């Protein structure tokens, strides 16, 4: 929890410049005393945090210090990848379509290698093609886990037409969620046609 707060403080100072203790406390939702302790922790870690006294004082980063976006957990990186992969047609309507593409590329490039790879993989695996909330379906989460872990899945598991698939991606569009099978990438399988599913302990390559 504290590590996440320290990172947020670092990014706030980097992006907004000099901030007062009160402003940081408000942004971080902590007491001013906690902010001062966190400043000490950043200083001890070797970061150039400067504290200026007086009426126009505040806290800022010295030496034009810049940091890349770090500290994201794996699921946060995955969430970021899915968000960045979602089409936003309203931006094009505002004349910002090209700018959005450039901004997305710059944001991804600012990520450390491991985090960027996780975000890009999630963007390819979970493609949301419609800007609306999908209906709740517990199979979606189970299939998402199978995709991440490259596990075999049996669809229509309780029927006579049971079939083993190698799920590599999911798409979401006007028909809801569909599954992309590595054994037959030429077409997607609507989740509505999958029936009951069984995620195997066996992996595919």
Alpha-carbon distance 181 to 194, whole Å? 12
Give the pLDDT score at 86: 78
Q: Pairing mode, if any, of strands 176-181 and 167-173?
A: antiparallel
Q: Which position has the higher pLDDT, 173 or 126?
A: 126
Rounded to the nearest 5°, which phi and psi values hold at 14?
-70, -40
Domain ranges of the chain: 2-61, 74-125, 138-203
pLDDT in tens, 20-66: 999 999 988 899 999 999 999 888 888 889 999 888 889 998 877 76
Query: Mean pLDDT score of the chain, rounded to an integer?
Result: 85
pLDDT in tens, 146-162: 999 999 999 998 888 99
Please compute the mean of the pLDDT values over residues 73-89 and round it to a whole number. 82
CATH code of the domain occupying 2-61: 1.10.10.10
Task: List b or e across 9-27, with b for residues whose CB sees 16 or more CB atoms inside 10 angstroms.
Answer: bbebbeeeeebebeebbee
Give the confidence band of 130 by pLDDT, cuts at 50, 70, 90.
low
pTM: 0.52
- pLDDT-above-90 percentage for the chain: 32
């Amino acid at each position: 929890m504290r590590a996440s707060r320290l990172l947020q403080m670092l990014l706030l100072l980097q992006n907004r410049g000099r901030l007062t203790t009160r402003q940081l406390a408000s942004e971080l939702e902590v007491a001013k005393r906690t902010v001062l302790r966190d400043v000490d922790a950043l200083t001890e870690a070797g970061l150039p945090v400067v504290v200026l006294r007086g009426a126009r004082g505040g806290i800022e980063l010295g030496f034009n210090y810049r940091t890349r976006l770090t500290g994201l957990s794996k699921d946060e990186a995955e969430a970021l990848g899915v968000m960045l992969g979602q089409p936003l047609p309203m931006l094009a309507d505002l004349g910002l379509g090209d700018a959005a593409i450039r901004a997305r590329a710059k944001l991804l490039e600012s990520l450390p290698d491991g985090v960027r790879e996780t975000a890009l993989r999630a963007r390819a695996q979970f493609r949301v093609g419609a800007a609306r909330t999908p209906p709740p379906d517990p199979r979606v989460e189970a299939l998402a886990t199978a995709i991440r872990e490259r596990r075999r899945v049996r669809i229509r598991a309780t029927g006579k037409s049971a079939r083993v698939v190698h799920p590599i991606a999911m798409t979401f569009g006007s028909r809801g969620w569909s599954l992309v099978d590595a054994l037959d990438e030429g077409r997607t399988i609507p989740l509505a046609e999958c029936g009951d599913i069984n995620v195997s302990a066996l992996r595919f390559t």
